[in-house]
Amino acid sequence: MRPWIRGALLSLALSAPALAQTSAGVEAGPSDAPAAEAVDLAAPSTPHFGLSLDVGIPDGAVLSGLFQPTDWVRLSVGLGYNAISPGVRVGATFTPFHFVITPSLTVEAGHFFVGDPGSKFNLLVGSSGTAANDFEHIAYDYGNLHLGMEIGGARFSGFLHVGLSYVHAQVHDFQAAIQKNTGDATLEAEDPSLRFTIPSVKLGLLFFFG
């Protein structure tokens, strides 16, 4: 073999390990560019606690505490006033999705304690007669089934609810009122009650803070 060929082969043999080490370093070495940060595709967390204020019929005015365990269920417990007596209300609202305008379905049950509408009636009409005081103590239970529309964002929105309400009203101390107004203490009467279903509506605001 000629000397120059033998020299070239010897040079190639000596350089092969260095080339292999360089190639391995390029393939296995850490990248100069920083690793891309993982993109958080998770949806924003659902606010769980809030307050609402609404006014309607037969609800009166109600201030409620809200708890939202998921983004499609909202639970409420509230205190109300109907210009006659205080009351309480519990309910659940279901929302299939959340957007600027969100549809809703609400189911509620409430109770207003015994109140005296006679004095309020006399105040409104300027009467001091006894006719308006025949039914001095009235309480009622009610249940709402409402379709609604909520306008706003996840933290603050307004709403309109319309639907039907079942009302069970009862007059207390009716016998005493009859005896008083007739002057006949021998009269006997049971406390009457009324049951009826009426169209109902309410307007309100929602605010979530945590």
Per-residue pLDDT tens for 24-71?
454 444 544 444 444 444 445 778 999 999 999 999 999 999 999 998
Q: Does the pLDDT at position 178 exceed 80?
A: no
Give, in degrees to the nearest 5, the angle at Cα 144 between 141 and 149: 150
Tokens representing 48 are 């769980």
CB-neighbour burial class of residue 161 (10 A; exposed 0-12, middle 13-18, buried 19+): buried
Q: Indicate left, alpha or beta for 11 from its phi (over 0: left) and psi (-120 to 50: alpha).
A: alpha
In 29-153, which residue ranges form alpha helices assigned H by DSSP? 117-125
Element (H or E) spanning 180, and its range?
A: helix 174-182
Read off the amino acid at residue 69: P
Distance of CA 65 to the CA centre of its chain: 9
Nearest to 110 by CA among 139, 137, 90, 85: 90
Asked if residue 51 lies in contact with residue 207, where contact means CB atoms within 8 angstroms, the answer is yes
Q: Does the pLDDT at position 91 exceed 90?
A: yes
Tokens representing 113 are 């304690």
Distance CA 23, CA 28 (A): 9
Q: Could you give the percent of the chain with pLDDT greater than 70?
A: 63
CB-neighbour burial class of residue 80 (10 A; exposed 0-12, middle 13-18, buried 19+): buried
User: What pLDDT, on the 0 to 100 scale, is given for residue 19?
Assistant: 47
Distance CA 210, CA 205 (A): 16
Q: Could you give the percent of the chain with pLDDT greater than 90?
A: 50
pLDDT digits (tens, 9 = 90+) for 109-128: 999 998 877 665 454 445 55
Distance CA 162, CA 106 (A): 10
Nearest to 104 by CA among 58, 62, 66, 78: 66
